[in-house]
Amino acid sequence: MGHASDRTLAERFRSQLLTGPPAVSGLDVVERLLAVQAQDLRGARLALRARSEGVFASDIDRALTQDRSLVVSWLNRGTLHLVRSEDYPMLQALTAPAQVTGNERRLRQESVSPDQAEEALRVIQRALANQGPLVRKDLGRRLADAGIPTAGQALVHLLMYASLRGAIVRGPVVGSEQAFVLVEDWLGSQPPLDRGEALAMLARRYLAGHGPATSRDLAKWAGLPLRDARAGVSAIEDDLVEGPDGTLACGVFDEVADAPSPRLLGAFEPLLLGWESREPVVGHLAPGLITNNGVFRAFALVGGRAAATWRLDRGRVVIEPLVRIDARTRAALDAEAEEVLRFLGG
């Protein structure tokens, strides 16, 4: 979020539903944010909790499992993201092609030939058509039975291969895992999209949930070339307002709150992943929040800044301050901890 002004940062909190009226459903949160990073599914659920009222983890799992209104797939930056089913076609069409070359290179490194990758796609499609939904280990067994390498990281990159081709997504929650399903079976046939219209829609939706922001922010978040981000923004420029710091928004809020109330946010929180820079939120605390292998830890937001990390330990929330936290803020975070437990258990 770079050198964003205080007002820009405050407006982003409103765009992100961290200030102002909360959403009334998890689906509404995902509609606003467009895509929520989800390689840690509990982290994605917690992102929805922090932005809504009266929502429980079970509601999100029901949207994934019964309603089919949410799905997870490798989309932005080749990373798993939670999206609305109706937004999946646009994000799949725009973001998947950029990831194909890297995916094929990783498969070669895992000793999977192009012919084996294509055979794996057929095996996966056949298994899901006949016996789906199936979790990862079940698909791994079927691939191994077909003589396709699955050791190391081969299996995950074969599943990514099928996902990038629009054949499969992660759908229903089965126990603690998400099962894979065929896109055509789960969501129906996907209509072709005009690329120019899709880029314009991407820019509009991104700015709705992340504005004020720049084309560079959009390119970073989506994992697209800067020229694509600029094309999308240019297509809607008549509807945008430019701030004094050069950021763009789909409108200006009449009233902007200073900062969110103290909040416990989950792993891979969207507030740290939506812009070119996360420095305004994390400041000098980045080493305590982001591990060397790229894991974004769950953290507490106080006064619009990261202030602590937290974790679940045997059914309770353990908060570990990174800066001094006064008694009133600590009480607010303890109340948040109770809400987190209620959300996860409900």
Q: Which residues of 167-181 are buried (b: 16+ CB within 10 A; e: fewer)?
A: bbbbbbbeeeebbbb
What is the identity of the amino acid at 325?
Answer: I
Pairwise CA distance, residues 257 & 7, whole Å:
9
Measured over the CA atoms of residue 283, residue 262, residue 79 and residue 193, the dihedral's sign is: negative
Pairing verdict, β 305-313 and 316-321: antiparallel
pLDDT tens for each residue of 105-121:
999 999 999 999 999 99
Distance separating alpha carbons of residues 318 and 308, to the nearest angstrom:
10
Look at residues 54, 93, 85, 29 and name the one whose alpha carbon lies nearest to residue 270: 29
Query: Which parts of the chain sit beneath pLDDT 70?
Result: 1-3, 253-257, 346
Q: Are 325 and 299 in contact (CB under 8 A)?
A: no
Would strands 248-249 and 263-265 be described as parallel, antiparallel, or unpaired? Answer: unpaired
Per-residue pLDDT, 2? 44
Write the DSSP symbol of residue 274: S
Distance of CA 129 to the CA centre of its chain: 27
- Look up residue 145 and give its two tokens: 């039975």
Q: Taking Cα atoms as reference points, which of 26, 72, 83, 37 lies closest to residue 343?
A: 26
CB count, 10 Å around CB of 66?
Answer: 10
* Among 270, 327, 317, 258, CA closest to 76: 270
Q: What is the pLDDT of residue 1?
A: 41
200: Cα separation from own chain's centroid: 20
CB contact set of 326 (below 8 Å; sequence gap of 6+):
none
Nearest residue to 296 via CA among 278, 322, 276, 314: 278
pTM: 0.96
Which token pair is 295? Answer: 């894991």
